Amino acid sequence: MTRTVYPVNVPEAALGRNSVELRQVVKVHGQGPTAVRVLDGVSWGFPRRTFTAVMGPSGSGKSTLLQCAAGLDRPTSGSVSIDGTELTTLDETALTRLRRDRLGFIFQSYNLVPTLTVAQNVTLPMEFASRPIPAGAVRNVLARLGLEQHTHTRPAALSGGQQQRVAIARALLGDPAVIFADEPTGALDSRAAAEVLGLLRGAVDSGGRTIVMVTHDPVAAAVADAVVFFADGRVVDVLHRPSADAAAARMARLADGFAERGGVR
Ligand code: ADP
Ligand code: MG
């Protein structure tokens, strides 16, 4: 297949001031003739204390990008650093520790443990990591997320928006420098989505965190400081101070190009 050449390239000099940096990250799934190059040499920096949305056609590699950036998956080649720590050189134990101490994760499916209460779900990663939980921290984070009435409730009794707020509380309790979110509002109605997005925005503006969020929704993307557009395993465009309309227009253009190329990589 021919590969479209895109105009966007990050100058190497622009890298270095970022919380999360990817340099020439390649990820190949499978081997031989069936091998798929899911990430095709991604170089990108996510500046500290900013909120970046990642948009792109389904199958373009967004989740893989997030997994590699967050140290949940290892690139085939290239390097990733978080606040100056090179992930690709860490062994599994050190990588796990870095993830637990520095990073937070939020997924579309909430990933709560159904048999545990809200408070137990929120404290679980800290307990796994044997990290001390400061007195009052759980109550504070639940109050901040409007969940104080639900401390002892189990996830099944909560709405989708409430469950995602539990997942955010769980991420925030660990005081992460960076939060990675993969379609966090994908299963929510627009009102619950707006609440969740407001909480994430606050985690950047008041909490000083860095957020990288994959989303399909231009309205969600408009909450971010910038939208990075992804196609065929590469960054192909970026929009600063996005409006929902502008994000939607760029996505539509990208999807057209994707369909013209047969929707395959
Ligand atoms: P997106 O999140 O943009 O929809 P993904 O990162 O999930 O895209 O997937 C990108 C491509 O990589 C898809 O073609 C998918 O089938 C493939 N892929 C993802 N994970 C694996 C895997 N573990 N093994 C093989 N192929 C994979
Ligand atoms: Mg995905």
CATH number where 99 lies? 3.40.50.300
Say how many domains are in the chain. Answer: 1
Pocket of ligand 1 (CB under 6 A): 29-30, 36, 38, 56, 58-64
Residue having the nearest C-alpha atom to atom 12 of ligand 1: 38
pLDDT cut 70: percent of the chain above it: 91
pLDDT per position as a tens digit, 132-152: 999 999 999 999 999 999 999
Domain encompassing residue 233: 2-261
Distances (CA, A) of 162 to 104, 112, 139, 178: 18, 11, 16, 22
Q: What is the mean pLDDT of residues 152-156?
A: 97
**Ligand 1 atom at minimum distance from 64 CA:** 6
CA dihedral in degrees (161, 165, 171, 177; nearest 10)? 100
Q: What is the mean pLDDT of residues 233-247?
A: 96
Residue having the nearest C-alpha atom to atom 14 of ligand 1: 59
pLDDT band of 8, cuts 50, 70, 90: very low
C-alpha to C-alpha distance for 128 and 142, rounded to whole angstroms: 20
Question: Helix, strand or coil for residue 145?
Answer: coil
Residue having the nearest C-alpha atom to atom 15 of ligand 1: 59
pLDDT band of 263, cuts 50, 70, 90: low
Res 252: pLDDT: 93
Q: What single letter denotes the amino acid at residue 203?
A: A
Count of Cβ atoms closer than 10 Å to residue 8 Cβ: 12
Residue 265 has pLDDT above 50, yes or no: no
Residue 7 has pLDDT above 70, yes or no: no
Distance, CA 116 to ligand 1 centroid (Å)? 31
**Ligand 1 atom at minimum distance from 29 CA:** 25
What are the helix (H) ranges across 15-104? 62-69, 92-102
